[in-house]
Amino acid sequence: MGSAPDRLRGVAVWLIIAGLVRLSHGGAVDPEPVEQVSGEACAEGRCETETEPLLSAVLHSDPGDIPSLTGTESRSPRVTCDRRSITERSTVQILNASQDLMELLNASSTECSLVLFYTTWCQFSANLAPHFNTLPRVFPSMHFVALDASQHSSLSTRFGTVAVPNILLFQGAKPMARFNQTERTLETLSSFITNQTGFEASPDQTVLEEGPLPAVPVRGIDWLFVFSVLFLSGFGLYALLCSDSVLRLVPDHVHQD
């Protein structure tokens, strides 16, 4: 069993590697000027999610299970969806960390739902928000759900969400198609829904400026990076105090005691 200094050195090496990975992600260059938040990388119109869900999704998910469609392939409906019974004004339902998407979707139902995986810090998710907030008014016969991928890592892994925003069409609790266009506007989203379900869009397609989904990215604190810096600073001070150059400054009688 190693000594305490050896164990501390091992932990320090691990934290240095983690810090370098975070810095490399935070320094990624995007084709468009996008503000980097929480040290994560944005590229090609999407923001990468946390490292662990990203690796898990790559290892355990099968992207071939969900067709990736741009919404322009065919005009014939691909999914037979029952219309939602309209009892009140529809809006985007945002799941909190304790809610289960599978229970909300209801496996025995044949109604269709459009589910958005997003994060509050991602600029692309914020750009999409006004358009997604408008969809319940344009398609009142469907359900629209949004969830923070960082709070639902198990669902992100299950459905292969390695970058946000990610949009899936569900029939009941079964994923049927993935929206995969780079341009995420009300027009392209409406075209995707119409082509997949056959539902006609409402003529009123004015994009809402306000809604449940935030249209401005929220800054976050990368606690792992902060902890890494503090730990490395403390370990560096400890190593300095235990070095031979410092011990030589201590009087001989102190060493003897």
pLDDT in tens, 88-117: 778 999 998 888 888 888 888 899 999 999
Identify the three-state secondary structure at position 178: strand
Confidence of residue 206 (pLDDT cuts 50, 70, 90): confident
Task: Quote the tokens at residue 195.
Answer: 């082509």
Average pLDDT over residues 222-227: 67
For 15-24, 66-75, 82-91, which range has the lowest pLDDT when averaged over its residues? 66-75
CA distance 167 to 120: 15
Confidence at residue 126, expressed as pLDDT on a 0 to 100 scale = 94
**Average of pLDDT values for 224-228?**
71
Domain edges within the chain: 1-38+222-241, 40-197
Percent pLDDT > 70 in the chain is 63
Round to whole Å and give the CA distance between 148 and 116: 9
pLDDT of residue 234: 86
Residue with tokens 């925003």: 165
pLDDT at 57: 34
Instruction: Tell me: pLDDT of 66 over 90.
Output: no
Residue 169: per-residue pLDDT: 95
CATH of range 40-197; options 3.40.50.2000, 3.40.30.10, 3.20.20.10, 3.40.50.2020? 3.40.30.10
